[in-house]
Amino acid sequence: MPHVTIKHFPIDLDDERKEILSNEITATIMKVFGSREGAVSIALEAVEKDRWKSEVYEPDIQRCPTFLLKKPDY
């Protein structure tokens, strides 16, 4: 605990950028939740731009506003 899933438009992230992202997110989660490093899991899920509205915006953002920590401006 916890698990974080990052949904994003496809982008070519090399291993170094993935490691930086993972380290930064893990450090923040450890600080805020008091979790140990080995308890944190992170997933990246690329979603094509033409599927974003139906697969991310509508189900995850529009229909679940109470779960959002930050709302998009679109």
Q: Which long-range contacts (CB under 8 A, 24 or more apart) does 24-31 make?
A: 29/2, 29/4
- The answer to whether the CB of 30 falls within 8 A of the CB of 68 is no
- Please report which confidence band the pLDDT of residue 62 belongs to, taking 50, 70 and 90 as the band edges: very high
2 among known catalytic residues: yes
| Rg, C-alpha atoms of the chain | 14
Query: How much is the pLDDT for 5?
Result: 98
Among 2, 10, 59, 65, the active-site one is 2
Are 45 and 55 spatial neighbours (Cβ–Cβ below 8 Å)?
A: no
Q: 3-67: what CATH class?
A: alpha beta
pLDDT digits (tens, 9 = 90+) for 2-44: 999 999 999 999 999 999 999 999 999 999 999 999 999 999 9
> What are the extents of the domains in the chain?
3-67
**Considering the entire predicted model, what is its pTM?**
0.89
60 by DSSP, 3-state: which? helix
Beta-bridge partners for 7 = 45
